[in-house]
Amino acid sequence: MFSDELKKHRLIPVVVIDDAQDAAPLADAIVSGGLGCVEITLRTSVALEAIKTMAKRTDIVVGAGTVLNIEQAKAAVDNGSRFIVSPGMSVSLVEWCLKNNVPVFPGCATPTEIQLALEAGLRTVKFFPAEQLGGVKMLTTLGSVFQTVQFMPTGGITSENLEDYLAIKQVVACGGSWMVQSQWIRNRRFSIIHDEIQRVVKLLH
């Protein structure tokens, strides 16, 4: 299962990128910092190009985030995305991904959405926005009800609360943007990104 691969990484940098030329040095910073996974959000016009650039590497698993519909999912996969992350639970999007053997992690904020994901055939969902929904306490409660579900909490995750989330048995990985801040990417402060990722990776081992 692809969720097992995510569990190896434990942390997924969630990236908003404005200049496609930053994709290569950003990938360098992420990998050299100690992570082998990244989610490029489709929030900018260069996101697909950035995915294509990073996907050429063999040392990083590249996924697409903020995927809202099937058309975006197709475009992301065509450019090398190996997994799809959506902010909400779209049955049609999930069905397309499953039909095409593309790992997909829809955002689920309620028990109803989690049940929809289960009915669609999923066992791993994105818990989003994690902190705003009640954080570790809420996720622990959901996990006690949906004991076969694995979670990827995203939204408000920081180095301060990361270990609390990862301590939950059903959490496979956390998504976070604090170590790949957009201003650092825009200003090409890739050494800072490397150092922050390296610092967090050391915390996890």
Tokens representing residue 84 in the block: 């799809």
Residue with tokens 């992301």: 76
Which CATH number covers residue 55? 3.20.20.70
User: Is 33 part of a structural domain of the chain?
Assistant: yes
pLDDT for 204: 87
- pLDDT tens per residue, range 150-179: 999 999 999 999 999 999 999 999 999 999
pLDDT for 6: 82
Active site residues: 39, 126
CB 102 within 8 A of CB 84: yes
DSSP line for 168-193: STTB--EEE-GGG-HHHHHTT-HHHH
C-alpha distances in angstroms, 186 versus 15, 27, 55, 56?
Answer: 11, 14, 21, 22
Tokens representing residue 126 in the block: 């994105």
pLDDT for 1: 63
pLDDT for 55: 99
pLDDT for 14: 99
User: Is 116 part of a structural domain of the chain?
Assistant: yes
- Domain extent for 189: 2-198
pLDDT for 170: 98
The terminus-to-terminus CA distance of the chain in angstroms comes to: 23
Q: Give the other-Cβ count within 10 Å of 165's Cβ.
A: 25
pLDDT for 190: 99
Residue-level length of the chain: 205
Instruction: Report residue 40: phi and psi, to 5°.
Output: -95, 115
pLDDT for 3: 79
User: Is 97 part of a structural domain of the chain?
Assistant: yes
pLDDT for 56: 98
- pLDDT tens per residue, range 108-136: 999 999 999 999 999 999 999 999 999 99
The sheet carrying 150-153 orders its strands as 150-153, 124-127, 104-108, 83-86, 61-65, 37-41, 11-15, 174-176
Residue with tokens 């959506």: 86
Instruction: Report residue 122: phi and psi, to 5°.
Output: -90, 155
User: Is 205 part of a structural domain of the chain?
Assistant: no
Listed as ranges, residues in the chain with pLDDT below 50 are none
pLDDT for 205: 80
Tokens representing residue 44 in the block: 């900018």
CB 59 within 8 A of CB 27: no
Instruction: Report residue 39: phi and psi, to 5°.
Output: -115, 115
User: Is 203 part of a structural domain of the chain?
Assistant: no
Give the total number of structural domains in the chain: 1
pLDDT for 47: 99
pLDDT for 124: 98
